[in-house]
């Protein structure tokens, strides 16, 4: 068991950075407001305009970013499909389709229980995202959605990782999707959920294609998913045991970790905990961040995963990702640890290797 | 593929027909439905019968020993009641929780509070603490934390197949060696949000629902929670607990047809049942009972009938939908009906498909009178919006 190697075949994003490419690595956009919406690509190549008009942002972005990830995965396109097929479509979303939820909830609460729009309700369910991806890519495979706060993306990744190791599936499309409306952001800010301190809230759409073992063309491998853990209680000892297990399983020691990518966001209380927990786990290592240019959301960690994959693929980490620019790697990164502690309810540890 | 069955060493359930397994069993045997006029939900839609859990939130708090001012939601309270029964039966102590994973499916999450306080949220002046409970994951966290610290907690959210999918994830974790014990299922309360949502889709019946009947005209909403304790055989044997049943196969497939409607040929349902059978290494003939998804909507039941025909041919095993007892408990239905399947296997009976009188177009006829039957293997279907179709295959432990 556990001998199946799992590779990342492609990774794409839509966020507050230029969509669907890696322009941010050269020219990052820095947010200047506490809430910044995603930059949408032109959806015409992905969705007929008539249909797109009836769709919430989260669905349009999820379809576009998933199709791009599938097209770039190097997987073979069957004759009757426009994009390559995968064995599983697994989605993470913290709040789900919040635009349509609001469009249904607002009149329900203001005007009462009549004349409510079925389209908004149909699109308010979390698994609308995965269902739309499946419908549009003709995928009858395993379809699953997770909605668990800051580890929504990791839960989806974990499901894929388990099934790839069990060889129940050979390929998977894993996504992390959250949209945000100005009204809902205001509620969350006042409720103390997001936008605390210098934290900038954003929107996330990440799509990653994973493949298991020998079936995967070696030229197409961006990096290897060496292992992962999700924990729901994480005192120092639990974290250290989990990290040790992760490293041993991947055939590594703590010395092999080149840098730690973490979710510091400008929220002073969680940023402090990030630093202390990481230093207790791995000692002094270069610390990387991404939320200052991608923003905070329940599935921001999906964007973090994408960032780490791109850095490993290119063998270079842009200066602006270092928390402390004086503590930089000299060579190409070979092994990155990703640590997401969310709001303290759950955390995830992911080991990626070039 | 290595398909060693996963053991089920405990289960718990709360639904309109009972607050635990004993009460639910009695109602199933007595053919006593819990679907009636709305009593607890604050709604103007009294024309639609519903399957509510027969307790107010305050009564649930009291039973659980939760302070009146502690933040919680109805979905979380029902989840705690069901989880308590499951943990007790499987003899899972608080000391074991840090090694135990909790997978709890839900879709409405804390919507009962959000719809109550939405206008307060907008003004930002009161009840802001409840926004922290709006999302699905918070609901699972609140349930989990009532019992202690767990190894891992996560939340599948695939509408009406959420709880079945939670069980699938849990089983994969055990088979992969990532966990030795996982508690999986789901919880969902009725909210105005989805009562009105289903109403806007025109799939609620003003009469008691009639799954697989020619006159069926929609579903009745229900609510509840149920969990199964899943365990590796080695782990259960080490601590000396018995298997109530085995999870010997499961399948999840996507209909990929329409956001809320099922395909005419039931492709997703067919693939899910086929996968479950293949994984268990069983022929369709070995299935003694199918607990159908059978919502009572014209579309679901016809599509599911086609899928059943495609799997079983003319030799259809006895099948029924238990939704006339409980209403459609949406995200929790997969685990509530799984517990009903375990009760049926354990007590040797097939629950009746209440309210049935005339065969539908496809001509399949459900079991309409509760009857005795020795059951070795049963299939339990749960299908969700988005064509999210799952099927679980339970088997009687050898020698029981």
CATH code where residue A150 lies: 3.40.47.10
pLDDT at B46 over 70: yes
The reported pLDDT for the residue numbered B1 is: 42
Q: If you average pLDDT over residues A68-82, what whole number do you get?
A: 86
Question: Which listed residue (B146, B306, B328, B377) is catalytic?
Answer: B328
**B147 in contact with A, Cβ within 8 Å:** no
- Give the mean pLDDT of A348-352: 98
Note whether residue A125 is domain-resident. yes
In this structure, the answer to whether residues A318 and A334 fall within a common structural domain is yes
Q: pLDDT averaged over chain A?
A: 95
For A135, the closest chain B residue by CA position comes to B256
**CB B176 to CB A165 under 8 A?**
yes
Q: What is the pLDDT of residues B267-294, one digit of tens each?
A: 999 999 999 999 999 999 999 999 999 9
- Smallest Cβ–Cβ distance between A122 and the set B121, B136, B259 belongs to B259
- In A72-97, alpha helices (H): none
A199 and A67 share a domain?
yes
| Residue B293 falls in the annotated catalytic set | yes
Domain final residue, candidates A182, A202, A219: A219
> Which residue in A has a C-alpha nearest to residue B117's C-alpha?
A109
For residue A161, the model assigns a pLDDT of 98
- Whether B221 has its CB under 8 Å from any CB of chain A: the answer is no
- B348 interface with A at CB cutoff 8 Å: no
DSSP H or E segment with residue A153? helix A152-165
Q: Is B139 a catalytic residue?
A: no
Average pLDDT, stretch B95-120? 97
Residues A29 and A172 both lie in one domain: yes
Q: Which of B325, B279, B246, B249 is nearest to B11 (CA)?
A: B246
Stated as kind and residue range, the H or E segment containing A10 is: strand A6-14
Superfamily the domain B249-395 falls into: Thiolase/Chalcone synthase (3.40.47.10)
For residue A215, the model assigns a pLDDT of 66
Domain boundary among A161, A189, A219: A219
Judge if ipTM > 0.90.
yes
- A209 and A298 fall within a common domain: no
Asked if residue B26 has pLDDT above 50, the reply is yes
- Each residue of A107-162: pLDDT tens digit? 999 999 988 999 999 999 999 999 999 999 999 999 999 999 999 999 999 999 99
Looking at the fold, whether A193 and A265 belong to one and the same domain comes out as no
Q: Per-residue b/e over B265-295, b at no fewer than 16 CB within 10 Å?
A: ebbbbbbbbbbbbebbebebeebbbbbbbbb
- Mean predicted confidence (pLDDT) in B74-83: 98
> A219, A249, A267 — which closes off a domain?
A219
Q: How far is B315 from chain A (nearest CA, A)?
A: 26
Among candidates B279, B230, B236, B272, which has minimal Cα distance to B255? B272
Angle at CA of residue B187, ends B67 and A231, nearest 5° = 80
Residues of A in contact with B173 (CB under 8 A): 162
Higher pLDDT, A81 or A320: A320
Contact A147 B157 (CB under 8 A): yes
Same domain assignment for residues A199 and A241: no
Of B118, B131, B173, nearest to A191 by CB-CB distance is B131
A to B CB pairs, distance under 8 Å: 216
A249 touches chain B (CB under 8 A): no
Is residue A1 included in any domain, yes or no?
no
- Our measurement of the distance from residue B184's CA atom to the centroid of its chain's CA atoms, rounded to an integer in Å, reads 11
- The model's confidence at residue B25, banded by pLDDT at 50, 70 and 90, is very high
Q: Check CB contact under 8 Å for A125 and B386.
A: yes
B174 and A CB contact within 8 Å: no
Q: pLDDT band at residue A283, thresholds of 50, 70 and 90? A: very high
Between CA B89 and CA B18 the distance in angstroms is 17
B258 touches chain A (CB under 8 A): yes
Domain locations in chain B? Answer: 6-238, 249-395
State the Cα–Cα distance between residues A126 and A147, nearest whole angstrom: 8
Catalytic residue among B293, B306, B377, B380: B293
CA distance B270 to chain A (A): 11
Q: Which of B115, B152, B259 lies nearest to residue A231, judging by beta carbons?
A: B152
Task: Please indicate, yes or no, whether residues A87 and A150 belong to a single structural domain of this protein.
Answer: yes
Name the residue among A212, A313, A215 with its Cα closest to residue A7: A212
B34 part of contact set with chain A, CB < 8 Å: no
Confidence at residue B399, expressed as pLDDT on a 0 to 100 scale: 67
In this complex, is the C-beta atom of B119 within 8 Å of any C-beta atom belonging to chain A? yes
pLDDT at A339: 98
Is the pLDDT reported for residue B2 higher than 50?
no
Same domain for A319 and A266: yes
Q: Are residues A205 and A258 in the same domain?
A: no
Q: What is the pLDDT of residues B170-216, one digit of tens each?
A: 999 999 999 999 999 999 999 999 999 999 999 999 999 999 999 99
- A89 contacts on B by Cβ (under 8 Å): 254
CATH code that applies to domain B6-238: 3.40.47.10
pLDDT surpasses 70 at A346: yes
Q: What is the pLDDT of residue A220?
A: 87
Chain A positions touching B179 (Cβ under 8 A) are none
B222 pLDDT above the threshold of 60: yes
Among A91, A102, A148, A159, pick the best mutation site for testing chain B contact (most B Cβ within 10 A): A148
| Shortest Cα–Cα distance, B297 to chain A (Å) | 16
A241 touches B: beta carbon within 8 Å: no
B42 touches chain A (CB under 8 A): no
Report how many domains make up chain A: 2
A176 and A247 together in one domain: no
List CB contacts (< 8 A) between A51 and chain B.
none
Can you read off the two tokens belonging to residue A110? Answer: 């203001």
Q: Are A336 and A261 in contact (CB under 8 A)?
A: yes
- Give yes or no: B235 in active site: no
Judged against a pLDDT cut of 50, whether residue B45 lies above it is answered with yes
Q: Which residue of B has its CA nearest to A133?
A: B256
Query: Min CA distance, B171 vs chain A (Å)?
Result: 10
A178 and chain B in contact, CB less than 8 A: no
The candidate with the shortest Cα–Cα distance to A302, out of A198, A187, A185, A210, is A210
0.95 cut: is pTM over it? Answer: yes
Contact A12, A70 (CB under 8 A): no
Averaged pLDDT score across all residues of chain B: 96
Q: With an 8 Å Cβ cutoff, are A127 and B387 in contact?
A: no
- Taking 70 as the threshold, does the pLDDT of residue A80 lie above it? no
Q: What is the mean pLDDT of residues B342-358?
A: 98
Catalytic residue among B139, B160, B189, B380, which? B160
Q: Do A141 and B156 touch (CB under 8 A)?
A: no
- Contact between B268 and B389 under an 8 Å Cβ cutoff? The reply is yes
Mutate to test the interface with B, among A144, A166, A176, A190 (most CBs of B within 10 A): A144
Contact B79, B226 (CB under 8 A): no
Q: Hey, is the C-beta of B43 within 8 angstroms of any chain A C-beta?
A: yes
Domain around A162: 6-219
Interface contact A193, partner B, CB < 8 A: yes
Is B115 in contact with A191 (Cβ distance < 8 A)?
no
Q: Which of residues 260-289 of A touch B (CB under 8 A)?
A: none
Please state the rounded mean pLDDT for residues A30-52. Answer: 96
| Residue B261 to residue B254: CA distance in whole angstroms | 12
Q: Per the domain annotation, does A241 fall within a domain? A: yes
Whether residue A119 is found in the same domain as residue A20: yes
* Binding-face residues of A in 112-151 toward B, CB within 8 A: 112-113, 116-118, 121-128, 130-132, 134-135, 138-149, 151
- Report the C-alpha dihedral over residues A100, A103, A105, A106, rounded to 10 degrees: 160
Asked if A94 is an interface residue toward chain B (Cβ–Cβ < 8 A), one would say: yes
How many other C-beta atoms are found inside a 10 Å radius of the C-beta of residue A47?
Answer: 18
Average pLDDT over residues A221-248: 96
Helices (H), chain B: 21-30, 57-64, 74-89, 111-123, 136-147, 162-175, 192-200, 233-238, 267-280, 298-312, 323-326, 333-347
Q: Do the Cβ atoms of A140 and B267 come within 8 Å?
A: yes
* Rounded percentage of chain B residues whose pLDDT exceeds 70: 99
Q: What residues contact residue B54 under an 8 Å CB cut-off, 6+ apart?
A: B16, B19, B34, B39
> Nearest CA to CA, how far is A115 from chain B (Å)?
8
- CB spacing of A113 vs B192 below 8 angstroms: yes
Q: What is the 3-state secondary structure (H, E, C) of A38-78?
A: CCCCCCCCCCCHHHHHCCCHHHHHHHHHHHHHHHCCCCCCC
pLDDT value at A2 more than 90: no
Q: Which of B135, B145, B150 is the best mutation test for A, with the most CBs of A within 10 A? A: B135
Same-domain pairing of A282 and A258:
yes
| Tokens found for residue B127 | 């009840």
Are A157 and A174 a contacting pair, CB within 8 Å? yes
Reduce the DSSP state of residue A230 to 3 states and report it.
Answer: strand
Q: What is the pLDDT of residues B287-312, one digit of tens each?
A: 999 999 999 999 999 999 999 999 99
Q: Which pairing describes strands B181-188 and B152-154: parallel, antiparallel, or unpaired?
A: unpaired
B299 reaches A (C-beta below 8 A): no
Indicate if B249-395 has the same CATH topology as B6-238.
yes
């Amino acid at each position: 068991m556990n001998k199946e190697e799992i590779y990342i075949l492609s990774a794409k994003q839509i966020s507050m950075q230029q969509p669907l490419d890696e322009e941010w690595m050269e020219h990052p956009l820095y947010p200047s407001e506490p809430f910044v919406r995603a930059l949408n690509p032109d959806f015409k190549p992905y969705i007929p305009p008539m249909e797109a008009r009836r769709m919430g942002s989260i669905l349009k972005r999820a379809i576009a970013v998933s199709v791009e990830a599938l097209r770039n995965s190097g997987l073979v396109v069957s004759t009757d499909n426009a994009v390559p097929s995968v064995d599983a479509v697994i989605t993470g979303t913290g709040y789900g389709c919040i635009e349509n939820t609001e469009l249904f909830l607002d009149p329900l609460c203001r005007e009462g229980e009549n004349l409510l729009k079925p389209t908004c309700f149909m699109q308010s369910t979390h698994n609308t995202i995965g269902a739309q991806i499946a419908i549009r890519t003709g995928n009858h495979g395993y379809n699953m959605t997770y909605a668990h706060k800051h580890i929504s993306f990791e839960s989806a990744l974990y499901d894929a990782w388990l099934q790839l190791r069990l060889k129940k599936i050979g390929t998977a499309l894993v996504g992390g999707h959250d949209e945000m409306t100005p009204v809902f952001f205001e509620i969350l800010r006042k409720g103390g959920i997001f936008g605390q301190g210098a934290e900038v809230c954003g929107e996330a759409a990440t799509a990653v294609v994973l493949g298991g073992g020998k079936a995967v063309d070696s030229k197409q491998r961006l990096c290897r998913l060496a292992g992962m853990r999700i924990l729901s209680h994480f005192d120092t000892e639990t974290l250290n045991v989990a990290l040790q297990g992760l490293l041993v399983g991947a055939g590594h020691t703590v010395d092999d970790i080149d840098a730690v990518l973490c979710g510091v966001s400008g929220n002073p209380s969680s940023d402090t905990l990030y630093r202390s927990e990481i230093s207790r786990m791995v000692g002094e290592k270069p610390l990387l961040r991404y939320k200052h240019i991608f923003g905070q959301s329940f599935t921001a960690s999906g964007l973090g995963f994408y960032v780490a994959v791109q850095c490993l693929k290119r063998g270079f980490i842009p200066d602006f990702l270092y928390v402390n620019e004086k503590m930089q790697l000299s060579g190409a990164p070979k092994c990155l640890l990703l640590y997401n502690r969310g709001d303290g309810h759950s955390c995830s540890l992911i080991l990626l290797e070039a | 593929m290595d398909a060693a069955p996963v053991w089920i060493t405990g289960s718990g359930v709360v639904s309109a027909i009972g607050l635990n397994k004993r009460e639910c069993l009695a109602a199933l045997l007595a053919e006593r439905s819990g679907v009636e006029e709305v009593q607890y939900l604050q709604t103007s839609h009294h024309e639609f019968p519903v399957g509510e859990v027969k307790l107010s939130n305050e009564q649930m708090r009291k039973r659980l020993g939760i302070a009146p001012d502690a933040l919680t939601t109805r979905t979380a309270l029902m989840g705690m009641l069901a989880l308590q029964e499951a943990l007790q039966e499987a003899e899972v102590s608080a000391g074991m929780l840090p090694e135990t994973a909790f997978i709890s499916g839900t879709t409405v999450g804390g919507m009962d509070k959000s719809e109550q306080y939405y206008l307060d949220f907008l003004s930002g002046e009161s009840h802001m603490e409840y926004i922290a409970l709006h999302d699905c994951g918070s609901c699972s966290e609140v349930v989990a934390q009532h019992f202690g610290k767990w190894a891992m907690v996560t939340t599948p959210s695939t509408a009406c197949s959420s709880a079945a999918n939670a069980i699938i994830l849990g089983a994969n974790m055990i088979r992969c060696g990532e966990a030795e014990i996982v508690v999986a299922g789901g919880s969902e309360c009725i909210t105005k949000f989805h009562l009105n949502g289903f109403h806007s889709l025109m799939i609620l019946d003003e009469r008691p629902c009639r799954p697989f009947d020619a006159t069926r005209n929609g579903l009745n909403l229900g609510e509840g929670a149920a969990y199964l304790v899943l365990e590796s055989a080695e782990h259960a044997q080490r601590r000396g607990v018995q298997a109530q049943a085995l999870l010997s196969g499961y399948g999840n497939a996507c209909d990929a047809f329409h956001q809320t409607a099922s395909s005419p040929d039931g492709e997703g349902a067919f693939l899910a049942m086929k996968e479950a059978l293949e994984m268990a290494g069983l022929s369709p003939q070995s299935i003694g009972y199918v607990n159908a998804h059978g919502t009572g909507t014209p579309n679901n039941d016809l599509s599911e009938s086609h899928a059943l025909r495609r799997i079983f041919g003319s030799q259809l095993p006895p099948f029924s939908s238990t939704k006339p007892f409980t209403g459609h408990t949406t995200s929790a239905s997969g685990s509530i009906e799984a517990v009903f399947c375990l009760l049926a296997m354990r007590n040797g009976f097939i629950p009746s498909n209440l309210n049935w009188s005339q065969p539908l177009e496809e001509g399949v006829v459900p079991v309409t009178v509760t009857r005795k039957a020795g059951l070795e293997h049963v299939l339990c279907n749960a299908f969700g919006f988005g064509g999210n179709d799952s099927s679980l295959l339970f088997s009687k432990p050898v020698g029981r």
